[in-house]
Amino acid sequence: MIWLVGAGAGDYGMFTLRGLEVLKRADVVIYDRLVGESILSLIPDNAVRIDAGKISGHHKISQNDIQNLIINYAQNGKNVVRLKGGDPFLFGRGGEEAQAIIQAGLDFEVVPGVSSALAVPEFSGIPVTHRDFCSGVNIFTGHDKNNLLPDFDNTTSIFLMSVGNSKILQEKLTSKYPPETPCAIIENGTTSRERKFSTELKSLNETIIKNNVKSPAIIVVGKVAELNLSGRKNLRLYGKRILITRPQGRGETLAEKLRNEGAEVILMPTIKTEIIKNSLNDKNLSGYDWIGFTSVTGVESLFEILRENDRDIREIGNSKIAAVGEATKNALKSHGLKVDFVPKIYDVENLAEGLSGRGKILLFRALNGTKTKYNFDEIYIYETKYVKLKHIPDFSDIIIFTSSSTVRGFVENTKDFRNTKVVCIGRQTAEEARNAGFVDIKISEKATEDSIFNAILEICPRKLQQQPPS
Q: Is the peptide bond before 216 cis (omega within 30 degrees of 0)?
A: yes
Question: Is position 470 within any domain?
Answer: no
Beta bridge mates, 6: 84
Taking residues 374-379, report their average pLDDT: 91
Tell me: do 207 and 150 sit in the same domain.
yes
Three-state DSSP state, 350: helix
Tell me: do 330 and 412 sit in the same domain.
no
Question: Is position 469 within any domain?
Answer: no
Burial environment of residue 426 by CB neighbours within 10 A (0 to 12, 13 to 18, 19 or more): buried
Q: How confident is the model at residue 463 (pLDDT cuts 50, 70, 90)?
A: low
Q: Given a cut of 70, is residue 280 above it in pLDDT?
A: yes
Taking residues 135-156, report their average pLDDT: 67
Q: What span, in angstroms and rounded, lies between the C-alpha atoms of 91 and 386? A: 40
Taking Cα atoms as reference points, which of 373, 376, 438 lies closest to residue 404? 438
The pLDDT tens digits of the residues spanning 177-217 come to 899 999 999 999 888 888 999 999 999 999 999 999 998 89
Burial environment of residue 138 by CB neighbours within 10 A (0 to 12, 13 to 18, 19 or more): middle
What's the pLDDT at 468?
A: 42
Question: Is position 101 within any domain?
Answer: yes
- Quote the crossing angle between the two packed helices 296-308 and 326-334, to the nearest 10°: 20
Q: In what order do the strands lie in the sheet with 241-244?
A: 264-267, 241-244, 398-401, 421-425, 441-444
Burial environment of residue 107 by CB neighbours within 10 A (0 to 12, 13 to 18, 19 or more): exposed
Question: Is position 326 within any domain?
Answer: yes
Tell me: do 348 and 429 sit in the same domain.
no
Percent above pLDDT 70 for the chain? 94
Could you say which of 163, 198, 230 is where a domain stops? 230
Return the active site residues: 32, 54
What's the pLDDT at 144?
A: 55
What's the pLDDT at 470?
A: 39
Tell me: do 261 and 278 sit in the same domain.
no
What's the pLDDT at 55?
A: 62
What's the pLDDT at 467?
A: 46
Q: What is the pTM of this model?
A: 0.75
Q: What span, in angstroms and rounded, lies between the C-alpha atoms of 340 and 418? A: 40
Question: Is position 465 within any domain?
Answer: no
**For residues 176 and 44, which has the higher predicted lDDT (pLDDT)?**
44
Could you say which of 91, 114, 137 is where a domain stops? 114
Q: What is the CATH number of the domain that holds 192?
A: 3.30.950.10
Q: Among 262-276, 362-376, 451-465, name the most confident range.
A: 262-276
What's the pLDDT at 422?
A: 96
Tell me: do 123 and 217 sit in the same domain.
yes
Q: What is the CATH number of the domain that holds 326?
A: 3.40.50.10090
What's the pLDDT at 291?
A: 96
Question: Is position 215 within any domain?
Answer: yes
Q: How confident is the model at residue 349 (pLDDT cuts 50, 70, 90)?
A: confident
The pLDDT tens digits of the residues spanning 111-143 come to 889 998 899 898 889 998 888 888 778 887 766
Taking Cα atoms as reference points, which of 304, 306, 343, 303 lies closest to residue 323? 343
Tell me: do 420 and 352 sit in the same domain.
no
Question: Is position 467 within any domain?
Answer: no
Q: What span, in angstroms and rounded, lies between the C-alpha atoms of 237 and 242? A: 9
Q: Given a cut of 90, is residue 250 above it in pLDDT?
A: no
State the DSSP code for 368: T
- What phi and psi, each to the nearest 5 degrees, are found at residue 380? -85, 105
Q: What span, in angstroms and rounded, lies between the C-alpha atoms of 124 and 158? A: 14
Q: For the chain, what is the domain count? A: 4
Could you say which of 171, 205, 230 is where a domain stops? 230
Tell me: do 259 and 125 sit in the same domain.
no
Which residues have CB under 8 Å from 68's CB, separation 6+? none
Question: Is position 464 within any domain?
Answer: no
Computed over every residue of the chain, the mean pLDDT equals 88
Residue 135: Cβ within 10 Å count: 11
Tell me: do 404 and 255 sit in the same domain.
yes
Contact 346, 426 (CB under 8 A): yes
What's the pLDDT at 190?
A: 83
Give the domain extent around 362: 273-383
Tell me: do 123 and 147 sit in the same domain.
yes
Contact 197, 178 (CB under 8 A): no
Q: Given a cut of 70, is residue 464 above it in pLDDT?
A: no
What's the pLDDT at 235?
A: 83
Tell me: do 9 and 110 sit in the same domain.
yes
Tell me: do 355 and 414 sit in the same domain.
no
Q: What span, in angstroms and rounded, lies between the C-alpha atoms of 209 and 205? A: 6
H or E segment to which residue 453 belongs = helix 449-459
Q: What is the CATH number of the domain that holds 10?
A: 3.40.1010.10
Contact 424, 403 (CB under 8 A): no
Tell me: do 8 and 107 sit in the same domain.
yes
